[in-house]
Structure 1
Amino acid sequence: MRRIYAITVVLALVVGLGLGWSVGTAGAAEKKVVAMMDWTPQGRHIPFHVAAEKGWYQAEGLAVEIIRGYGGAQTVAGVDQGKATFGISEITAVLLNRAKGGKVRAIGMLGEKSVIGVGGLKEAGVRTPKDLEGKKIAIAAGSPTRQVLPALCRANNVDCNKIQVVTLDPTLMVSSVLRGDAHASAVWKGSNYAVLVREARKLGKETYWIGVSDWGVDIYGVAILAHDRTLQEDADLVRRFLRATYRGVEFAMERPDEGVAILIKRTPALAKDADIVRQQWDETAEVLKGPMWSARGYGWILEDKMKRSRDVVLEAFNIKIDLPLSDYHTNEFLPGKR
């Protein structure tokens, strides 16, 4: 039976903590909201758990239930089908959904660049994308890594036909390279790359990581998303959710140890993996706050970068459709720079 990590907001209202965020009025009945993550609880989900634990969602009049996901594509589908109010996913799944007729839109970013990449053991002899020629890469069937790989090849003069891609379950990405079954696998910063690093260290081995954004594929990373219906019918709810969530982002950026502790408190099974959770958050924080976020505030989406992201996805699937960029994203509901 699938384990659903459903977490309800604590009832205690905590205000202040020196962060200076204005909040809405917590009034009568709280509005029930479901926020679906992209996978099981992990470091990059910390801001949502912080906002819940500190009572910031409740202060905005929201009763937020945080549930696990089963991959970004499934999360996007869940939001599109009304199973969740909000979700998070790598931007590629959002763009593909929209291009295929879905009604999900990115409403804020959780990173100025993508965390998609491949990694493995240094002994495989891979240091650059060109080194992937003649190698075996393990990638899950629906992984965005599969969608972005052709763009990585083009940007680095790599013959993708010389790369052997094998399809494995997402839970086998790390073990496939540790066993030597693959030279590389789809491991992401802020997620399972931290697991690879720890498990390799136990074997006395070092790792490498090739991130697409570091090698010429300048696309967006993880996005917060919502359905058009929610944006049109309850704009105030969207603003309140984002305000509390990005308050959680700022708290975790300033107090990472406390952020990690909160996630572990709310997900006790992670206690044995505190080192992984901290690395996941540190890697997430690296891509969270860039020049545009400093200028415009957390989550801001640039049109030219969104266009590049869209073009990579549409080309990967040979989709010919000309939708306005505003169909894929909006900055309308972001809290802005404080």
Structure 2
Amino acid sequence: MIARHAIRSLRSLALGLLVTAGPVAAAHAADTKIKVILNWKYEGEQGMFFLAEDRGYFKQEGLDVSFDQGNGSGAAVPVVANGAYDMGFGDINALIEYTAKKPEDAPVAVFSLYNRPPFAIAVKVDSPIKTPADLPGKKLGGAANDGALKLFPALCSITKTDCGKVEITNMQPNLREQMLMQGQVDGVFGYVTTIRFAARGIGIDADKQLRLIRFGDYGMDLYSNAIIVSRKLVKEKPEAVKGFLKALNRGVKDAMADPKAAVASVAKREPLIKLDLELARFEATLIDDMGHPEVAKIGLGDIDEARLAKSIDIMVSAKDLPRTPAVKEIFDRSFMPPLADRPTVVKAAM
């Protein structure tokens, strides 16, 4: 009798363990895999993504997220559209162009991070190029998928510059500043922060040796990089999109509160980065790319619909796009955390 009772007890215990373990195993198995392509190689400003990952915020939302280095902000849009990635950190202007041409395949932006126009052309400080009007007859270079290069036709249109008289050459991104300083090109395309800190990394004092022609100074008050999501993920797993943004929002706030921790998370993926340089890059990104005054009113992540509509009109006109996408085709705010949970002041506690 004792043996039978012991066997029954063991069976009951085993069954109880299975029942207890069941939900845990099921939850683990149910983690939604999300494959994300970033805008560029691993740098300091991407610490907000990696800090969220290292602190388990994505896991807490039932997500299994993987990040890949990108090849330019414009390049993220087509690879999310074709299903190679579920999400991307890409240029919303490239998304506008894609949506105008292929609305049935286009992803949608759900969280705006770079809300100030970072696009620029860098020239040497002693260059005769001071405005876009000085560009005809000159040679400019940039990476094929660089956001500023892709927006050059729009700048030419707005400033009435003859783009056809400007020679464009493509180059590897890591050679950009060197080729400029060596005189192989007269100017280079890029993001303000990227150019400044890439230059600093090779011993160039960008503030003293370079002049930046900023697109934003010529009527191009455009949004830039946002989280873009595939139509498939939005349709099939909307809660996963909400969970991702909730986790990322926490990562952004943590990164601003502890920039060193954010950059340390980047260093785990790319040990060769220079920590001091990347800390400075992160702070500059907050100021130059993420610190638009509208954040105080609408919070980081959201957009001003009138401003985005104007951006769409600029892109359609400058690139002679076949149609004008509606704002709701480009941006969907329904997945964002509430305003009370999102930053309304963008700065780092350095």
- TM class by shorter chain equals 0.7 to 0.9
How far residue 334 of structure 1 moved from its aligned partner, in angstroms, is 0.9
Moved more, 200-209 or 216-225: 200-209
* Structure 2 CA distance for partners of 1:71 and 1:106, relative to 1, 3 Å: same
Distance 2:44 2:128 in 1: 29
Partner of 1:103: 106
Q: Is the 8 A contact 2:142 2:171 kept in 1?
A: yes
1:8-19 → structure 2 map (5 Å cutoff): none
TM-superposition CA deviations, 1:26-80 (whole Å, max 9, x none): 9812222111112211123121011011111112121211111222333222211
Partner of 1:59: 60
Partner of 2:263: 260
Distance 1:299 1:164 in 2: 37
Q: Which stretches in structure 2 are left out of the alignment for 5+ residues?
A: 1-23, 341-350
Question: Could you state the TM-score of these two structures normalised by the residue count of structure 2?
Answer: 0.80
TM-superposition CA deviations, 1:240-274 (whole Å, max 9, x none): 1001112111222232222222211332132xx33
Alignment match of 1:212 (pick from 201, 211, 215)? 215
Partner of 1:22: none
Alignment match of 1:295 (pick from 294, 297, 302)? 297
TM-superposition CA deviations, 1:289-312 (whole Å, max 9, x none): 433322222210222222222223
AA matched with 2:27 = A
AA matched with 1:42 = E
* Structure 2 CA distance for partners of 1:142 and 1:290, relative to 1, 3 Å: closer
Partner of 2:232: 229
Q: Is the 8 A contact 1:26 1:59 kept in 2?
A: no
Distance 2:55 2:171 in 1: 39
How far residue 330 of structure 1 moved from its aligned partner, in angstroms, is 0.9
Q: Is the 8 A contact 2:97 2:321 kept in 1?
A: no
Moved more, 94-103 or 327-336: 94-103
Distance 2:174 2:301 in 1: 29
TM-superposition CA deviations, 1:156-179 (whole Å, max 9, x none): 454445533333343432221021
* Structure 2 CA distance for partners of 1:179 and 1:140, relative to 1, 3 Å: same
Distance 1:312 1:200 in 2: 37
Larger radius of gyration: 2
AA matched with 1:337 = L
Partner of 2:280: 279
* Structure 2 CA distance for partners of 1:253 and 1:133, relative to 1, 3 Å: farther
Partner of 2:38: 37
Distance 2:141 2:311 in 1: 23
Partner of 2:346: none
Question: Could you state the TM-score of these two structures normalised by the residue count of structure 1?
Answer: 0.83
Q: How many residues align?
A: 312
AA matched with 1:196 = A
Partner of 1:247: 250
SS across alignment from 1:253: helix
Distance 2:268 2:336 in 1: 29
AA matched with 1:248 = G
Partner of 2:76: 75
How far residue 107 of structure 1 moved from its aligned partner, in angstroms, is 0.8
* Structure 2 CA distance for partners of 1:52 and 1:142, relative to 1, 3 Å: closer
How far residue 313 of structure 1 moved from its aligned partner, in angstroms, is 2.6
Q: Is the 8 A contact 2:116 2:222 kept in 1?
A: yes
AA matched with 2:94 = A
Partner of 1:116: 119
1:113-152 → structure 2 map (5 Å cutoff): 113-152=116-155
How far residue 220 of structure 1 moved from its aligned partner, in angstroms, is 0.6
Distance 2:95 2:44 in 1: 21
Distance 1:71 1:276 in 2: 21
Partner of 2:332: 330
Q: Which stretches in structure 1 are left out of the alignment for 5+ residues?
A: 1-24
* Structure 2 CA distance for partners of 1:169 and 1:308, relative to 1, 3 Å: farther
> In percent, how many aligned pairs have the same letter?
25
